[in-house]
Amino acid sequence: MNEIYNVIEKNKDTYILSNGKQDEKLEELKSIPLSKRSDKSKAKFLFKNEVRSNQKIFEKYSSKFSKRSDNSTIEYIPIDSALVNYICPISNFYAISVYLSEKTAKIVCGMDYVLFCEKDKTYSEKSKFKRSTSINDNNNNNNNNNNSSIYYDINAIKKETKWSDVSVQQISYSPNHLSLISQSPFANPNKQLDTNFYYPSSAGKGIDIYFIDMGLINKHEDYDTYKGTSDERVITCDAIITGNSVHFTTDEEKNNCSSVDGIPYHGIMVTSVAGGSLYGVAKKANLHMIAADNTSINILKGFDIILQKAIPHKTVISLSLGNIGNYSTAEKFKLTDLINKGFIVVVSAGNDNINCCEDKSSSNFYTFTGYRKAIAVGATGTKFNGYGLNIAYYSNYGDCVDIYAPGTVTYPDLESGSFTGTGFSSGTSCSTPLVAGVVASIMSEYPEIQFDNDKMKKTLIEMSIKNAIDFKDSDITNDTPNRFINNGKQSIYYLDQNVQCGKNSKDGNICSDGCCTKEGKCISFENHPGDQCFIENGCQSEFGYCTTKEKSIEECEKELK
């Protein structure tokens, strides 16, 4: 780094701007103590490393470079430079950021120990739309009681999902992204579907979800930390990374941080959807924000913070970022480091209605889906059409998109100054944290399993609902996987489902759809009744469809043939 700094200093005349003046960043060269030393061979810079700046590392580097081979000492001068600075270690090399002119770029990139050079880039992926509303529906009840109006069956849900316990959130706001992920999209459009969100009661407890985004204001009622209870969790901003600066937050900054001017609405949205107590999937997960501007360099620094501080196999990283036409070797290898270490990374497919899976030689290369390592998420609409869901018209696609999730969400709106207001937003930026929340819920429900990125990707694919997305009115290629996110509960409940049937019912009701069980319940086949429709198990054939185990096997064999 000292040699590179010397190259910049010797060629400072190549940093002349079109107006004839020298680039202001080179003013740094005039102010540093080293430039005043007559014998620079006895003095070098010790460049500040804000991400990994701790006493042990400082002592390690100080002792390593404190003496020359001839035992004469070298003075190391600490410097916080805007021209040459650390990014992070990646695999078996180190990434640094250097401010280069065309001439110095040729010199530096040709040095023997420089593996490759690539330009910094700025990410463009943000929510497709944003609109504020006046919704204020905070109904977050867990209805595991004996209310006679309850039409769903908690025991049946437990049996279907294998969850240790089930929580139910009643929701009346729209758009309702949560109910969509806890039931099959193949619902009967002529019936009144319930809008509840069914989820495992563990709800991400003990799992950390990290975000690299605009920032966070955690004072909205959606960010309940359950203080003083057994479910107490952390919702915090850990660091702010802007320009060349990395700042680890303290005190009030942990509750209110931003890398942009104004309210960090995008960061608020992603944290809310992944783990908010009102609008989130994993309502008990710990939420960690790293507020960063959208440069590749600072995303890498954010990755390095997570790599140092987070717990492998207990951490999900949600990235609602993306950029067209920019392959980065550094990003690919750093992403590999995170995944190899045991972190699960979920990324957005992007909002450009293109194939986001092209290789690095293509002008359509898309970060991060193009690296084909993380779990890539596309977006759908939020209304069932009887055949499933339509793909969102803006969503990217391709064979690297692992799963689709609802692309329009409700989330806290703080722009009005209210800590109770809500708005809604659309984009793959929204579908991505939804999947991250499902990931956290799976990890907390099965703590004995050591999930890694590949194992979680397979789990999500197995749990997904296949062929539930309508691609027919889009330009999507046949190699795009047709998978819709599901949290483990596919059964469908309608608001009139508490009507009983059979000989013990008030009017001897007959089930028009499905079978009438021994207990006198109408169960539709889309709710996977299992052996409850077998005559051997008491199915009431005069009040609905029933079959036998033997006949069922015969019909199955015919279908297979």
Q: Catalogue the active-site residues.
A: 213, 266, 429
The partner residues of 521 in beta bridges, in order of sequence, read 500
The partner residues of 411 in beta bridges, in order of sequence, read 423
CA 324 to centroid of chain Cα atoms: 19
Q: How far apart are CA 482 and CA 468, in angstroms?
A: 7
279: region left, alpha or beta (phi > 0 left; psi from -120 to 50 alpha): alpha
Q: How far apart are CA 479 and CA 231, in angstroms?
A: 43
Asked if 43 and 74 count as a contact pair (C-beta separation under 8 A), the reply is yes
Please, how many CA atoms are within 13 Å of residue 448, restricted to the half-sphere of its CB?
0
Asked if 412 and 421 count as a contact pair (C-beta separation under 8 A), the reply is yes
Asked if 236 and 275 count as a contact pair (C-beta separation under 8 A), the reply is no
Selection from 486, 460, 211, 477 nearest residue 357 by Cα: 477
Indicate the DSSP class of residue 504.
T
Burial annotation 256-275 (CB, 10 A radius, 16+ → b, else e): ebbbbeebbbbbbbbbbbbb
Q: Is 59 exposed, middle or buried (0-12, 13-18, 19+ CB in 10 A)?
A: exposed
**CA 176 → CA 194, 346, 514, distances in Å?**
11, 22, 28
Residue 135's CB is within 10 A of a number of other CB atoms, namely 16
Helix axes 428-445, 453-463, angle to 10 degrees: 100
Helix (H/G/I), strand (E/B), else coil: 146? coil
Q: Which residues, at least 6 apart from 226, have a Cβ–Cβ distance to it below 8 Å? A: 232, 233, 277, 284
Selection from 250, 252, 218, 215 nearest residue 235 by Cα: 218
Q: How far apart are CA 512 and CA 516, in angstroms?
A: 9
Q: How far apart are CA 273 and CA 209, in angstroms?
A: 11
Q: How far apart are CA 370 and CA 459, in angstroms?
A: 22
Q: Which residue has the tokens 């700094």?
A: 5
In the chain, what's the furthest Cα-to-Cα distance? 103
